[in-house]
Amino acid sequence: MKKAIIFFVLISAAYIFVSCNKEEPLSEKFISLTSNVWVADSLLADGEDVSGTGGLLEDFTGDTKFNDDGTGYVGSITGTWQFTNSESQIVITSDSLALPVTANIVELTATSLKLTTSFPDLTVNPPVNIPIRMTFVPK
């Protein structure tokens, strides 16, 4: 009986050890997002290019990298990112941004990243949201 109890305890411990070490498989979107250094292909606000000097998205130009630990950078903005809403949105948070940016993922493949969001135009009263579209390609 003593041997049966010891055997049961050892089997239970091995099962728990193996079960606890299993990691969730990475999603296809996660792998596509984190496997590339992206470069801004198009940064549009209300249909117009705003990536140039003094443009609304000037800080978003250049390379973009989403690291698998949830850190990264978009152009000159360094911060953290996370998927939300069943990986249909991405939230980018940074001390450089007044508010976190929540963007809808329109397309995410190994060769294309397309995001949409909006930004309040505080220069008009009442404020209206400016539609933003950002597209990225692998570097």
Per-residue model confidence as pLDDT tens digits over 94-116: 999 888 999 999 999 999 999 99
Decide: 7 and 14 in contact? Cβ < 8 Å: no
Q: What is the pLDDT of residue 119?
A: 85
pTM of the model: 0.79
Per-residue model confidence as pLDDT tens digits over 12-41: 444 555 555 556 788 999 999 999 999 999
**What does the alpha-carbon distance between residue 26 and residue 118 come to, in Å, rounded to a whole number?**
29
Strands 128-138 and 101-108: unpaired
Q: What is the pLDDT of residue 17?
A: 53
Q: What is the pLDDT of residue 2?
A: 52
Question: Band of the pLDDT at 127, cuts 50, 70, 90?
Answer: confident
Identify the residue with better confidence: 11 or 73.
73
Cβ atoms within 10 Å of 36's Cβ, excluding its own: 18
Q: What is the pLDDT of residue 134?
A: 96
Q: What is the pLDDT of residue 21?
A: 52
Q: Which residues pair with 74 in a beta bridge?
A: 64, 77
Domains for the chain: give ranges and CATH numbers: 26-138 (2.40.128.540)
